Amino acid sequence: MTNDRDRLERELRDHYTAERVRDAARSPGYAAVRAGRRLPDRRLIWLPVVVGALAIVVLAATAVWRPRSGLPAGIDLKAVEWTSPTDFLLETAGTEFLEQVPEIGPTAGWPSIDLPSAGAARTEMRRNEL
């Protein structure tokens, strides 16, 4: 079993060594790649500028020629009354409680507390400081 494993490892090593040699023979060196670099096509340099300018022109044209949507001059919106077809859904039981302040209970016999206003409290503090 060890012999089979050793043989397979040797075959793989030889195979990949041969592949590296073939790749190295086909690949140019760094200096050759650096010397042979191509400059980008001049038409492609101007492409983003042209696309941006075209987008600006289209947006400007859309803003200028957009149809004006508005109300005709003779309609008074204060005189118009509209009710939604689903207004009845807002009328539920207990809505009258939302318009009232709840009472906790009888307040007879509770002590009354008079709170001074903020201005009176400041005046009192100043008197005490003097």
Please check whether residue 89 lies inside any domain of the structure: no
Per-residue pLDDT tens for 29-57?
888 777 776 766 676 778 888 899 999 99
Which distant-in-sequence residues (6+ apart) come within 8 Å of 36 by Cβ? 28
Domain boundaries, position 46: 2-64
Please check whether residue 114 lies inside any domain of the structure: no
Which of 3-7, 27-31, 108-112, 120-124 has the least mean pLDDT? 120-124
Please check whether residue 42 lies inside any domain of the structure: yes
DSSP string, 18-29: HHHHHHHHHSPP
Domain count along the chain: 1
Q: How many CB atoms lie within 10 A of CB 121?
A: 11
Please check whether residue 93 lies inside any domain of the structure: no
Rounded to two decimals, what is the model's pTM?
Answer: 0.26
For residue 69, what pLDDT is reported? Answer: 62
**Percent of the chain predicted with pLDDT > 90:** 19
- Tokens for 113? 């507390």
Please check whether residue 31 lies inside any domain of the structure: yes
Please check whether residue 24 lies inside any domain of the structure: yes
Checking if the pLDDT of 96 tops 60, the result is: yes
Please check whether residue 25 lies inside any domain of the structure: yes
Please check whether residue 106 lies inside any domain of the structure: no
Give the rounded distance of the alpha carbon of 29 from its chain centre. 48
Most confident of 8-12, 44-48, 76-80, 88-92: 8-12
